[in-house]
Structure 1
């Protein structure tokens, strides 16, 4: 059976997501390493008791905290599966999840990954201005017509034929939400217009960091967000990652690539289950399961 490991990104986090993984040897050390980089107690940030002042907002939803917390959790799940003798035939991640996919493929080690995610999250958090909105059950022709008339909004995540995320100026997000025909339009709680040309400055700064980072050739094929064609070429995977901040996530095509390359099972490593649910709804020939914590691994 051909297996793909898939990794969710920002938005899949939830309080308490790290608690069950702490029984795994090395988990506290990794969280401590990430906490030292962040300058905050990441385990405390992930705690179920760490609600915001209004009992809705939480420090875990801060971009700087979210991305490191998810990367630590996902890489720990990778390490557990490796110790159990599991190995995928292909990997892919959604936005932040691409970093976990690259780690799983052996492109860089955990220390490099933590540092990259730290810088990425800080740059994205500082890119204030703009917003994002999820559009579900939309009229495709109408959406194309609306976007063709505007330069201030783009498709940031092409998740499936029935779900996209738009990114752009806040007024543009508000305008389009009033006229678009869809089942649901959900504004996202983010600090900027991620995966769009509006992230140019942050992407330029991050590209400079990537230029000094060694990317090894992957041990297993990686599907990148900006170009979901399998590759093991480390230099090509770096080039694709350099474009990720300003280019939309092509998840719909990623799922099509699973089908084309004969993937029979996708295993989502991380909380939320969003990617697995997308695969279940759009890939009839592919089985999808989720591993969110150590209990799913029988530990």
Structure 2
């Protein structure tokens, strides 16, 4: 049997009601929503379970909401006895992965991502920055496009390398618009503006990274008990000092998701289990490699299907 990776979704996967049915039927799951409310001194769980969606989608809410829901679902999933050889998460999901790997406590994780969301919102005021998904263009070609536009005075760069043919760019509004137009000229199939509140994973996030450094100094970061595949390098990290460095860099560096998935496959992973709301990452994994197996666990039913599939093999 091959190795197993747990992967955790990032911002954009949040939906009103996520984790609710599990929380109602399981006290352990419910306890995590209570812990988050207490730590943040906020009724986050009410927002997660009842909405409204537009408020849940705000970066400062979406980040702690997704981490809380994913970890609550993970705790429930642990009852199955299935364990991970590696963990990874997309952007915000990297924090969930670090909590899952025992490098950061749940409470510290929730606090850190709430602050991360606040600083990301503040870094570029008045929606002066944005992001766009570029479909069907090679990463080297797109990199040349962004570098040309940036050299001409409009900052833009590769932000999320999600899977072959799907790359998100990030920067100033003007930079993203110009790069989107040039990408189409260079052969991109589509350029889709994203509904985001800022130019995440770009150099424009450097002010947020400086502030966020103080937050990470206040919390306890330990060594990871399970290797975490870092967004910034697409390689394993377990040492506390490296984890802190990479979390700071992650704010203004590209998320190397395609490379991270490939790295896990190279390390022997053939089963990816996405834990949390949605199936975004499962879809991306399949686009990187069709032959691996993906599961998405978000409730009792999906958990049972994974257990049934994997228990068959163990017999």
> Which position in structure 2 is the counterpart of 1:148?
147
- Equivalence map 1:235-250=2 (5 Å): 235-250=241-256
Matching residue within 115, 120, 126 for 2:116? 120
Q: Following the alignment from structure 1 to structure 2, what is the Cα–Cα distance between the partners of residues 16 and 186?
A: 27
More helix by share: 2
Normalised to the residue count of structure 2, the TM-score between the two structures is 0.87
Name the structure 1 match of 2:68: 72
Match of 1:208 in 2: 214
Work out which of the residue numbers 41, 44, 48 in structure 2 matches 1:42.
44
How far, CA to CA, are the matches of 1:172 and 1:271 in structure 2? 32
Quick one: distance in 1 between partners of 2:139 and 2:302?
Answer: 38
3-state DSSP class of the match of 1:27?
helix
C-alpha root-mean-square deviation of aligned residues, in Å?
A: 1.9
137-146 or 207-216: bigger deviation: 137-146
Q: Greater CA deviation, 32-41 or 95-104? A: 32-41
Alignment correspondent of 1:167: 170
Cα distance in structure 1, aligned partners of 2:235 and 2:182: 35
Unaligned 5+ residue runs, structure 2? 306-315
SS class of match (2:133)? strand
In structure 2, C-alpha distance between the alignment counterparts of 1:139 and 1:116, rounded to whole Å: 35
Is it true that 1:234 corresponds to 2:240 in the alignment? yes
Aligned length: 293
SS for the counterpart of 1:106 is: coil
- Cα separation, 2, equivalents of 1:160 and 1:19: 31
Distance in 2 of aligned mates of 1:140 and 1:234? 31
Q: Identify if the C-alpha distance between structure 1 residues 123 and 140 changes in structure 2 by more than 3 Å, giving closer, same or farther.
A: closer
Please give the alpha-carbon distance, in whole angstroms, between the structure 1 residues aligned to 2:192 and 2:71.
29
Q: Is residue 107 of structure 2 the alignment partner of residue 111 of structure 1? A: yes
Which of 20, 31, 34 aligns to 1:32? It is 34
What TM-score do the two structures reach when normalised by structure 1?
A: 0.92
SS of 2:273's partner is strand
